Structure formats: structure tokens, C-alpha cells
Chain A
């Protein structure tokens, strides 16, 4: 009760500080000085958001059901960890978290940018405050996390069990750091454009922020994917679900931006690319929020279908788009002194080609995600766009993309030639041969698979070789590209060599298929605090005599009453074995799904490697001599 009141009024105070900040900024902007008050007010705003956030956390810990958000999403029998994680496992709480990150980032930004021009700092603050105020109003008006319930209910409704998972507990904060980090890039790019400050030093300064958001966004997507792998019980890790797509789109834009900013830092070209990408990364993040929160798409992330919320984000999103369009067209002057054409064989050209490929991937994902909505509105036809669409459009284009990734970084700025690069060709031949050996036993899509795998292996070899090349100093880029080659390679091999057995078994029965024998030994029951579980014990025998015991689980949660299946996964460096059971209604049978998935762990490790490359680049003082 008390905490709800404190939390609510802290929010109002935070909003007030936002308005005061805009007022002071405009005043300071005119006489071009940076008042220390601005920093204190930003800090106070952040402070009140923290207070408000902590109040919500405490309400969740104390199971204070007079608070509507807590009532809707918590339950007394829930473990403490999930009571805390439940704070951001719902619409209101997650928006508060979003606000928390927004204010945190602008505070750090102001502290870290002491040496930047005053006007630029103030203008960035103004743009950021417009976003912050927008979210404050949104939160207070349509999604207040501190609504009272009277009379106070005895018990809460509970958190959706599939969200009660450690990976998912940290997935939103990490992902938000990435999403919201892009807001700083957005504000800063708009400020720099208005003041005509797109320079090499601006690029160096904003590059750090791009890297930070990029690292968090990458890790956030990874966590969501890991969760889907072991919790949803399908054995897949990427479903091309609209919700996954809306996190992938900002990532693609941000990755492209990361490459462009490196060019801008060196050569002061591609300025339009950088501005537009900075704008689109954040608007795509916002657009994602709109799509999943407005109920226009249905998914686990759609917490509540409230048209008012959707309308607010929609109007807010489009205002931001129009403001940025205006600033871009009004203030951005293309520097006439810059050469617009480059020598064909140069780093610039290769990065531009990379950009166009990324834009292509981005538009495929974008169209796949929003086309069903457009079609539904325009002709009331309902269609679903599934993995085949994305695979058909994306996979063929990965081949030149991978080859570009291998060769591009070898090129020099301005003009280069590929003298004395026989090893490039030798490695290519080796890759094709290797890939041929891997794929030769498969009859489907033989040619495509061979070429695809050879280009992935090629990138793998080239980047691997560069680790031992002393002349080659750009270690962070190399790690990330190496990680990407491992990622693509693991995904491809995983797809080709995964095997799966699905059958129905009673307790005590066994099933033999080719080299594998699955024995359903027995079932146990277990009572936990907030669920009952049925554990099946299985013995898997392979022809080489290897015996493994696996125990997948069915959990029957009490609040709300939902059955989830917990897969049992045995992970080794070479492959994952995955077993999951399901109840078949009204029968004694259990539906058993057993999969062997090679190189699964490498998919996760390679993504960590990719973001690790970003981290190294962030740590490094200066990029590429």
C-alpha cells in the first residue's frame, strides 16, 4: 500500500524533472553554457525512477495484492527469485524497467561526454527527454504499475509458468539495455545532424554507445533463444516468430550501423547511412514494442490487449519518425568535398556491399513480419508467414555475404589489390572439398548445401588464419567474424545432421529405431512449492553400447493451472541429446520426442564470441592504426 503510493508519486516527480530539464536546456541552449543544474536534475530524475522501480520490486516481494500489477502477476507460493523477476515479467513493470534504463543511460551519457560541445550535449538531452517524457506519460496514463485494488484480494493470479525460468528472468533487462541504448544513438544522431556536427570525433564518441547497445542486444536475443530451446519443448532455437523478428530487426540495423560508423570515423563518408541507421535502429525497437504490446500480433509477449496503449505508442512512434525525417531533410547537408565514388576494390566498397546485404535481410524480415497485418487490413485475408519464406529468401544470399565477410576485411582503405594472396584461393578450394565430403551423403538440395557450407568453412578458415597473422591487428573484428562463421556453420550442420524419433510409449515399454533404443523405465511424482511434477525416467541405448539416463519432466503448475514440459537435455561439445514428454489425452500413453542435435552448444558459444569481439573493441583505445 505504502510502497504503491511512494512509487506512484516518484513517477510524477520524475516526469516533473523531465519538464524542468527541457526548460533549462532550452534556456542554456540560447546562451550556450552547460549549467551544472542540468546534471543534478538528470540525476534526480534517475533517482526517482529507481525509487519507483524499487517500490514495485518490494511490493512483489511482500506479495502486496492491493497493487493490481502484483495481483495479476504474482502468487504467495512463488519462489522469491521469480517474485523479483515477476516485476518485469508484465507490461507495466517492463515499461518501468524501460524507463529506468532510459534515465540511467542519459545520466551516464552526460557524465561521459564532458568534452563534447555544449550545444550538442544539451540537444541530445532534449531529444532524450522527449522520449523519456513520452514514456512517463504512457506509463502514468495507460499502464500505471501502482493501481490500487480494493478490497485487497487474498491471493494473486500467478505468473505464467513458462516465464518462470532463469534465462527469461534476465532476458528482458539485457535486451532492454540494447533496445534503449539505441535511444541514445538516436538522440545523439539527431542532435549532431541539427548542429551539423557529424565529424570523425563524433563518430569515435558515439561508436562506444553503438558497441554497448549492440553487445547487450546480441546477448538479449541469445538469452531469448536459449529459453525457447529448452522451455518451449520443440527443440528449435529460432522460429521466425514475429516477436523474435522484432528483436532481430534492430539488431540488423545496429550491426550495419556499427560497420558504417567505422567508415565514418576513418573517412568521413557514408554520413547519410549513419544518420538514417541511427534513426531506424531506435524506431525499429519502438516499432517492435508497438507490435507486441498493442495486440496486433499475438504472442507470449502480448501481456494485455488494450487498444489505448497501442494507440499511444503508435502516435508517439510516428511523431518521432516525423521529427527525425524533418531534421534529416532540413539540416543534413551532404558534404560536397567528399568523393562519392570509390575504387571498386577497397574497404569502403566492401562495407557498402555489406550494408546492402544487411538492408536486404532487414527488409525480408520486416516484410515477413508486417505483411500479414497489411493484408489483413486491406483485404481481410489472414495468412501466416513461416520459416520457409525466410529460408528461401535469406539462405541463398548468405553465400556471397559470407564470402564478402571473409575477403572484405583484408582490403585496404581507398584502393587495394589482391597481390600475393594465393592462400585465399587455396583455402577456398579446401573449403569446397571439405564441404563436399560433409554433404555428399545427402540428396536434398545438394548443390546449395555444398556451396553454403563451403562459404561458411571458408570464412572460418580465413578468420582462423588471421588469429596467427601478426600483421593483422584488428582482433575484435576478427573474433566477431570468426564467431559468425562458427554460428552459421553450427546452424547448418545442426540442420543437416539432427535426427529425431517421435513415438508413443506406455511405462515399461521400449522403442527401437535403427541404432537407438529408448526404454521407458518408470515415472516418479514430485511435489514442489508451486507445481506438481511427473518425471519420466528413460534409458537410451546406442549401438556403440553407450547408455544414458534421461528424465524429462511435466510440470503442472497450480497458479495459474498450466502444464509445461521441461525437456531433459544432455549437452556435450559435439551434440545435444534432447528428450521431452507430453501427455496424450485420455490415454496411458506418453508422447515421446527424442532428438540428437549436433553442435547445439556452438550456436550459443559462437554468439557469445560475436559479442565478445564487440567487448574487446569497446575496451580498445584506438581502432586500427
Chain B
């Protein structure tokens, strides 16, 4: 009995794999640089960049306020390019910009902020990149617009003037 069971179950497994690969091939595998989602933000505890304090997500995100979570790194060239836009956005009273420093060293990140300015209200320090995974990020830079502990919109890749204007309009 056992002898027959194994081959058939294996064949069954392989057929499933086949179907999944087949379907996966049909999907267009192009990342959409912007996505509307209405999902709760992940719960996590993380180290803060400046104070080394471990905090919970609820301590960073107030449900009555708009936030832009920006994933960045000093080694990431597009992050440098979008940084001036974040500086502009930081002046807006209606929204707080929160940084998530991704796979970086504190020394390099500090130099980066000293050179280009610090737009961030708070910075979550994600040395090994695991916090970014919880957010479902693909890479750097990436930004999440958050309100009421929900991700309203997700921007993959560097921000541009158009997105900033749109965000400002949204948070008014």
C-alpha cells in the first residue's frame, strides 16, 4: 500500500507545482510603482535611530495623524535624489515623515543626514532589513502613506514632485 501512495502523492505535488508555475508565468511580473491598499500597519517593536530606545509601533504612529514612512539608506543613490523632496514635505504641519533606515550603519546614515538635512520626526533603525520585510517592502526607497494606523498608499521607488503634491493635497 505504502509503495503506491508515495509515487501518486509525488505526482500530485508536481502537478500542483506545474500549475502554479504556469499561472505565475502568465502574470505580468512588473512592479506597480504605486498601490492603493487599506491594510493595518504591522505591529512591531524596533530600535530608534537616535535614542537606541526600543519602542512599539503604537508609540510612533498616532491614529489621528498622517504619516509618511520612508524607507531609506545612505548607500542608496535614488534616496539621495528624493531627499530634497522629503525636506520640503517635512515642513508641512499636517504630516510627519518617519524614516526607516534600511541595512545601514549609524555612521554612514548620520553623515548622510548631516550632508542633506534630516526630514524625519523619528527614525526606525533596521540594521538587518527585517523590519522592512514586515512592511512588505521590495527595496529602497519606498514610502507608505499612513493614517489611522492603516497604510493608505504605497509608493515604490523614489518620490517625485507629482507624488509630493498629491500627498499634500491628501493630508489637507
Contacts and interface: CB of A to CB of B under 8 A. Distances in A.
Contact of A584 (B24, B81, B108, B130): B81
Interface residues of B, number: 37
Contact of B7 (A325, A373, A376): A325
Interface string B137-150: 11100000000000
Interface string B87-129: 0000000000000000001011001100110000000000011
Contacts of B136: 381-383
A271 B77 CA distance: 53
Interface stretch (A123-131, A339-347, A448-456, A501-509): A501-509
A575 B149 CA distance: 47
Interface stretch (A194-202, A293-301, A405-413): A293-301
A254 to B, nearest CB: 21
Given A373-B24, A503-B111, A387 B18 contact: no
Contacts of B75: 234, 502, 593
Contacts of A582: 77
B74 A502 contact: yes
Interface size class, chain A: 35 or more
Given A298-B29, A384-B139, A503-B111, A376 B24 contact: yes
B36 interface: no
Interface stretch (A28-36, A306-314, A479-487): A306-314
What secondary structure prevails in chain A residues at the interface with B?
mixed
Interface string A217-240: 000000000000000001000000
A331 to B, nearest CB: 12
Contacts of A502: 74-75, 108, 111-112
A497 interface: no
Contacts of B74: 502
A115 interface: no
Contacts of B137: 384
B101 to A, nearest CB: 13
A387 B107 CA distance: 22
B158 to A, nearest CB: 10
Contact of A329 (B7, B23, B116, B130): B7
A318 B12 CA distance: 12
Contact of B21 (A314, A503, A591): A314
Contacts of B112: 502
Contacts of A151: none
A310 B23 CA distance: 11
A500 B26 CA distance: 42
A422 interface: no
A323 to B, nearest CB: 12
Given A307-B25, A377-B23, 15 more contacts: A296-B24, A296-B25, A298-B29, A322-B14, A329-B6, A329-B7, A378-B20, A381-B136, A382-B138, A391-B128, A502-B74, A584-B77, A585-B81, A591-B77, A591-B80
15 contacts: A296-B29, A297-B29, A305-B29, A307-B26, A314-B22, A329-B6, A373-B24, A374-B20, A374-B24, A382-B31, A383-B133, A386-B129, A386-B133, A500-B105, A500-B108
